Amino acid sequence: MSHTHVHESHEQLKDALDTLKQTGVRITPQRHAILEFLVDSMTHPTADDIYKALEGTFPNMSVATVYNNLRVFREIGLVRELTYGDTSSRFDFITTEHYHVICESCNKIVDFHYPGLDEVEQFASHVTGFEISHHRMEIYGRCPDCSNKDLH
C-alpha cells in the first residue's frame, strides 16, 4: 500500500471536501483553494500567508474572507488553530496521526499508523512544561523493491 505524498494530499483533500458536503457547507472555489493550500502546506500557514498565496487566483478575496473560511473549517473540525504567543494564529490541517517511512534509495514514502506514540506529547509536555502542538516522526530505510534489487 505505498503511495506518494501527492496522492496522500489528494486523498486528504477529498476527505475534507466530503466532510464539508456532509455538514452542508457550500464548497466555493475559494474554500476549495484554501483547503488545498492547507493540505499541501507543511508549514502551518497564517491567514495572511494563505491570502498572499491565493490573491493572484482570487483578486477579490480579502484576508477577512480567508479568516472567515478558516473559522468555518475549524468549527467543523478540519483545521486547528495554533496560537504561539501573540503572533498571528497559524492553521494546521488536521490529519489522523500517521507517520512516514521513507526509502533512502528511491524516496518512496509509505504511511503507517502507530497509536502508541500519542503519549509522547503528554510526556514531552510533562517533562519540559511546553504546550505541545504536534510532533512528527520520520523513519528511514530501504523499501522492499530497493532491497530486492540489491540481491539480484
> Per CATH, the architecture of 1-95 is what?
Orthogonal Bundle (1.10)
Instruction: Compute the residue count for the chain.
Output: 152
Q: Which three cell numbers stand for residue 30?
A: 475559494
Whether the pLDDT of residue 64 is over 90: the answer is yes
Find how far residue 82's CA is from the centre of its chain. 13
Q: Which three cell numbers stand for residue 76?
A: 467543523
- Residues annotated as binding site for Zn(2+)? 103, 106, 143, 146
Residues of the chain with CATH 3.30.1490.190: 96-152
- Residues annotated as binding site for Fe cation? 135
- Residues annotated as binding site? 103, 106, 135, 143, 146
Give the model confidence (pLDDT) of 91-101 as tens digits. Answer: 888 766 667 78
Least confident of 17-21, 41-45, 104-108: 41-45
Whether the pLDDT of residue 76 is over 60: the answer is yes
Give the model confidence (pLDDT) of 137-150 as tens digits. Answer: 788 999 999 999 87
CA atoms within 13 A on the CB side of 92: 14
Residues of the chain with CATH 1.10.10.10: 1-95
DSSP per-residue letters across the chain: ----HHHHHHHHHHHHHHHHHHTT----HHHHHHHHHHHH-SS--BHHHHHHHHTTT-TT--HHHHHHHHHHHHHTTSEEEE--TTSPPEEEE-----EEEEETTT--EEEE--GGGHHHHHHHHHHH---------EEEE--HHHHHHHH-
CATH class entry, domain 96-152: alpha beta
Question: What pLDDT is stored for residue 84 in this prediction?
Answer: 66
Q: Give backbone dihedrals phi and psi of 94, rounded to 5 degrees, phi first.
A: -85, 120
Full-model pTM: 0.59
Instruction: Indicate left, alpha or beta for 71 from its phi (over 0: left) and psi (-120 to 50: alpha).
Output: alpha
